[in-house]
Chain A
Amino acid sequence: MKIRPRRLITPIAIVAVWEGAAQAGVLSPDKLPPPSKVAEAAWRLTVDGSLGLHLLESVERAALGLLIGGLLGLFLGAVAGLFRNGDDLVDPPVQAARMLPHLGLVPLLIIWVGIGESLKVSLVALGAFFPIYLNTYAGIRDIDERLVEAARTCGLTQLERIRHVVLPGAMPSLFLGLRLAFAAGWLSLVVGEQVNGQSGLGFMMMEARDFSQTEIVVLGLIVYASLGLLSDLALRTAERRALSWRRGLKVS
């Protein structure tokens, strides 16, 4: 995970060219303001507290949606993965629903839950549900049956086998699901927040567009991107810790 200095050259060059082009008047400030103006806006909104407020609002929605969608996906994925009856009853409708583009459900969701908070949270939950469900299911299904058998000969009860064999065995797949769920969750949040927000990063950006404050629109995008990056980084760290047993596999 060490960053090689050479990998920083192009990103810095791009920002420098962007700044230079904007200063020289090649880029119209209404279309794309220079990075320095974006930084200035970031500073201004941080000092007056509004950026923090919007950010908190967005993160809360994302967290709530991920929690609801994630827990539901985990539960149903486990039911379908562990029990034959669960598989027969749960998997077909979920597989069918998976084919619906969940962001295309916005009009329907507006009719169902309105344009308020529940719309944003529902969208994030929907986005997070499918990757978690699918990867929990696949993770449990892909466990080496021979290991389960060996655990049986060691006298483990069914519950103990789930705890010591099935759950840890499904972990790598579960982490993959989590990362996909976070990505889908952020995307859903961005879309959801474009609908009638009163607060949040999306609202901040829509409002700035109305006043032609392009630098704040760009700032919003950068904050969204950073949120995605940070959550992915946190997940990767958690994954490395939880799956430390795989390190030996990578070396050999």
Chain B
Amino acid sequence: MASRPEGVVTATGVRRVFGGTTVLAGVDLRIEKGEVVALLGESGSGKSTLLRILAGLDEEATGEFTTSGSRAVVFQEHRLLPWKRVAENVALGVRGNDAPDRTATALAEVGLADRGHAWPSELSGGQSQRVAFARALVREPDLLLLDEPFGSLDALTRLKMQALFGRLRAKHGFAALLVTHDVEEALLLSDRLLVLDGGRIAEEIEVDLGHPRAVDVPGFNELRRRLLALLHVPADPEE
């Protein structure tokens, strides 16, 4: 173990108990530099809890966990401050003289170069979520923590956002932990899949499907069925 290079995330035996209920019962997790890991699990399986722990938002978790380098978080809701214009939201907490330039670059990367002066309330749901991505990107993260970032978007916007995520990832090479309940999304975007069940990582699956990916590449459906079974969802309607 000691000889391996430091991963972006190294966690061993992460536990979290909420008032007598053990949600995480010793999770081991390692994410390498530039690797996108999807974290799947049923509702209440502790996916978001694990992400919040890695984001430093949960002080009561026990176990060992470190994240190296810079990290940024995108939540299911955009969580933009309604009283700050779009550009100010992106630049929140960014220090240094080049902050305005970096903000403009990040907004251009998500296709909103001309909306920097708008108020968040003037944006659509998809645009707001793109601003949330720009707010994460501007920090040049080594690790992106994504908590169902496309979960509250309509189906078409979600597809566009997934494609955008693929492009951004190819360009910036960040590592990411993608919490999702969408099996296809996980298969499309990740290098490795983890299934959280009973408070532990129950299954780990490498996804060798190449990039860019579509739902009709060979092998996609086999993986999809396998995953659904792991998530206790019958793959065929008759079952």
Interface residues of A (CB under 8 A from B): 146-147, 149-156, 160, 164-165, 168-169, 171, 243, 245-249, 252
Contacts and interface: CB of A to CB of B under 8 A. Distances in A.
B84 interface: yes
A150 to B, nearest CB: 4
B60 to A, nearest CB: 15
Contacts of B8: none
Contact of B83 (A150, A155, A156, A171): A171
A147 B84 CA distance: 12
A249 B121 contact: yes
- The 5 A-B pairs with the shortest beta carbon distances in the complex, nearest first, are A248-B121, A150-B79, A154-B93, A153-B73, A168-B83
B57 A156 contact: no
Nearest to B91: A154
Contacts of B119: 245, 247-248
Contact of A164 (B57, B72, B92, B122): B92
Given A160-B93, A164-B81, A146 B75 contact: yes
Contacts, number: 60
B135 interface: yes
Contacts of A169: 81, 83
A245 B82 contact: yes
Given A164-B81, A248-B119, A249-B121, 11 more contacts: A146-B77, A151-B92, A153-B55, A153-B56, A153-B73, A155-B139, A164-B92, A168-B84, A245-B83, A245-B119, A246-B121
Contacts of A249: 82, 121
Given A155-B93, A156-B92, A248-B119, A150 B84 contact: no
Contact of A147 (B79, B85, B93, B139): B79
B121 A245 contact: yes
Contact of B81 (A153, A168, A248, A252): A168
A164 B84 CA distance: 9
A245 B92 CA distance: 17
A151 B92 CA distance: 8
7 contacts: A149-B79, A151-B81, A153-B55, A153-B56, A154-B72, A154-B135, A156-B93
Contacts of B71: 153
B57 A152 contact: yes
B121 A252 contact: yes
Contacts of A153: 55-57, 71-73
Q: Which of A150, A155, A160, A246 has the most CB of B within 10 A?
A: A150
B93 A150 contact: no
Contacts of A152: 56-57
A206 B92 CA distance: 58
Contacts of B82: 245-246, 249
Interface in B43-84: 55-57, 71-73, 75, 77, 79, 81-84
B79 to A, nearest CB: 4
Contacts of B55: 153
